[in-house]
A and B are shown apart, each in its own frame.
Chain A
Amino acid sequence: MKYRFLILLSLFFIDPVAADVCATGDLGVVIEREPGNVLIINTTQHKQLGKIEKLGDLSHASVVFSRDQRYAYVFGRDGGLTKIDLLTDSVAKRILQAGNSIGGAISQDGKLIAVSNYTPGGVKIFSAESLEQIADIPAVYDDGKLSKVIGLVDAPGQRFVFSLFDAGEIWLLDMRTPAAPALQKFKNIGKQPYDALITPDGRFYIAGLFGESGLALLDLWSPESGVKKILPAYGQHDEKLPVYKMPHLEGWAIAGDYAFIPAVGRHEVLVITTDTWKLVKAIPVAGQPVFVMARPDGRQIWVNFAFPDNQQLQIIDAKDLTIENTLKPGKAVLHMEFTPRGEEVWVSLRDDNQVVIYDTATLAEVKRLPAQTPSGIFFSARAHKIGL
């Protein structure tokens, strides 16, 4: 590994083409789930620039970017935390920080990386520069049990927010003084929070609940008011449909005054107002929604689905809250990522071994790129967005 890195470095310095000045604002990465590889891609040229191989178990891997957009931090399922240099196509640092890991976040100032773990349940904080451990926050509940941690996001004020799946708690971690992490716990927030998000302004943290209806809402402008339940009664007494893949709340689909979220156990996308958190409409869709993502201008909401409806994509028109179009891109649509201003979207097709790029205005296919069992797609524009 070290040799390869040295060889790459020497190529980089010798080869005059590779040594050309290069920027990173239109770069991104695609996770190859089964082989555990990361593809480095360019969103302007629609092409693959490099491949970092064998980073362990990258099922459910997610990525954050350094604020200079040079480095991608990849959070692997097996606890691997890898810092990839997008300019040299190489691994800058790599550690194994836990046994079973689910996601991560980067701090407001870009200096801290937080990772949420299933085993051992908790959050660890690392230096973004060196990946040296700075803090360990075990998710202890009920006199010593450790909970799986989900829904970890960054929040303004050098804070991180996350939820405890087994304990039904939300924790707010203040890292302004790295040597003395300050923790505020909110208990009894609801059963089995399965994922969470933060609004793009960093104000509201919302955890979806699997074990009961509704969502848990924390207003970070007034945490002293505690966590409140929103949509508590929706679908409370209805039989739930089976969920073959957990929905994700990553990103926050917002358009005007509305937020769009996946229902759980119902084939619906819920539209709620962001001032009073009341349900406006439940839009029937093709299956159990997994990702519900707004195009950056908020005009379209793109939705993909759990097995067995995962060959489809539906596009909601945010103007009249109806399904504008249904696409069938291919087998096992896992993830989508919009270009920074939303003229195109990249979609991963796990079982077709392809990434397909669409023009979001015409819905015409722009290109298909080969990728081995692609899952997550992440563009470097995330570097400058709260909660991503």
Chain B
Amino acid sequence: MKIFILSAMLSSAVAAPPPEPARQQALRNLLKHDCGACHGLTLKGGLGPGLRPADLADKSNEFLTATILRGRPGTAMPPWNRFIDKSEAAWLVEILKNPQP
């Protein structure tokens, strides 16, 4: 039983349910315009680095999720954890790495 609970928790940590459709749209808008203020509307980079799949290929999802939530001290990247929770950040990383055509 204990083992079963542990594995259930683990799998939920790996694949949290995606945000509700309305929230997905709000997050996409945030990504395009607010993240895009520094990373570019097309995410090819500006004052901040590019966020296209090729730019992110060598970075782990955990690292990128943590960057969104906690920011990067010493750079202009602020922490977004006041506005985005962990599963939403993970979802954003997912769509950054696998954008819809």
Contact = CB atoms under 8 A, between A and B. Distances in A.
Q: Which of A33, A192, A242, A245 has the most CB of B within 10 A?
A: A242
A56 B36 CA distance: 15
B37 A351 contact: no
Given A59-B40, A308-B83, A332 B33 contact: yes
Interface in A89-117: 100, 102
Contacts of B46: 60, 77, 100, 102, 118
B34 A59 contact: no
Contact of B47 (A34, A148, A332): A148
A78 B71 CA distance: 26
B46 to A, nearest CB: 6
Contact of B37 (A60, A100, A118, A194): A60
B41 A246 contact: no
A165 interface: yes
Interface residues of B, number: 20
B72 to A, nearest CB: 11
Given A244-B78, A246-B38, A246-B76, A351 B29 contact: yes
Contacts of A351: 29, 33
Contacts of A33: 33, 41
Contacts of B41: 33-34, 57, 59, 77
Given A77-B46, A118-B45, A245-B34, A100 B40 contact: yes
B52 interface: no
B45 A100 contact: yes
B44 A100 contact: yes
Contacts of A134: none
A33 B40 CA distance: 11
A307 interface: yes
Interface residues of A, number: 28
B79 interface: yes
A210 interface: yes
A350 interface: yes
B37 A57 contact: no
A118 B46 CA distance: 7
Given A60-B46, A100-B46, A102-B46, A245 B76 contact: no
Given A60-B46, A118-B45, A242 B71 contact: yes
A165 B76 CA distance: 12
- The majority secondary structure among interface residues of chain B is loop
A243 interface: yes
A57 B40 CA distance: 9
A78 B34 CA distance: 18
Contacts of B83: 308
B41 to A, nearest CB: 3
A75 to B, nearest CB: 13
B97 interface: no
Given A210-B76, A242-B71, A59 B45 contact: no
A245 B47 contact: no
A243 B38 CA distance: 11
Interface in A363-386: 373
Contacts of B42: 57, 59, 77-78
A246 B71 contact: no
B7 to A, nearest CB: 37
A332 B37 CA distance: 12
B79 A307 contact: no
16 contacts: A59-B33, A59-B40, A60-B46, A77-B46, A78-B42, A102-B46, A118-B47, A165-B47, A194-B47, A194-B76, A242-B78, A244-B34, A246-B38, A246-B76, A307-B34, A332-B33
Given A60-B37, A150-B47, A350-B33, 12 more contacts: A57-B40, A57-B42, A77-B46, A118-B45, A148-B47, A242-B71, A245-B34, A245-B37, A245-B38, A246-B38, A332-B33, A351-B33
Interface of A: 33-34, 57, 59-60, 77-78, 100, 102, 118-119, 148, 150, 165, 192, 194, 210, 242-246, 307-308, 332, 350-351, 373
Nearest 9 pairs between A and B by C-beta? A242-B78, A59-B41, A245-B37, A307-B34, A57-B41, A57-B42, A244-B78, A59-B36, A243-B78
